[in-house]
Amino acid sequence: MSSKQALQEDAMDPVLKDCILIVDGDLNFRERLAQELRSASYKVLTAGTGEEAFVILTRRSHQIGWFYSRAVLAGLIDGWILADEYREIHPDRPAVISAHDARFTARGDIVLREPTVDVASETMRDVIESLRQGQQTMAAGLSGRRHAA
């Protein structure tokens, strides 16, 4: 199957609106997180740089439903810029960002303090399921997992 055919099939796949974009410069972390989310039946795309992720967000925005990124990335585009781009597509959904300080942002994004793969995966699943169930706030359920285990 050609890549063009694969993109056409992807575009028609209704599950892709639930596709998670993972951006992390650490190949091992990125692939382990992607594998864990795929094993939980999520569609996942990955990028190792901000520039690569920016291209995915702009060219395949109709496919990206959820977003995880490390705040600090090599290159000119960091996780905060990518989160802003993601929020242009999904203003009602939080981005999940890995940074040095755990906090919530004014825009409602979730910032995890250097999470493990398990914490990042669980947070992504909780965010998705919480929003699917129509819950307005996730603060209480997520506050206990902000620190790396």
Which domains can be identified in the chain, with CATH numbers?
Answer: 8-137 (3.40.50.2300)
Paired strand residues for 45: 21
Dump pLDDT digits (tens) for 88-98.
Answer: 999 989 999 99
Handedness of CA 52, 45, 83, 36 (dihedral sign): negative
CA distance 7 to 71: 28
CA distance 40 to 19: 12
Dump pLDDT digits (tens) for 6-53.
Answer: 343 444 444 445 799 999 999 999 999 999 999 999 999 999 999 999
Number of Cβ within a 10 Å radius of residue 139: 9
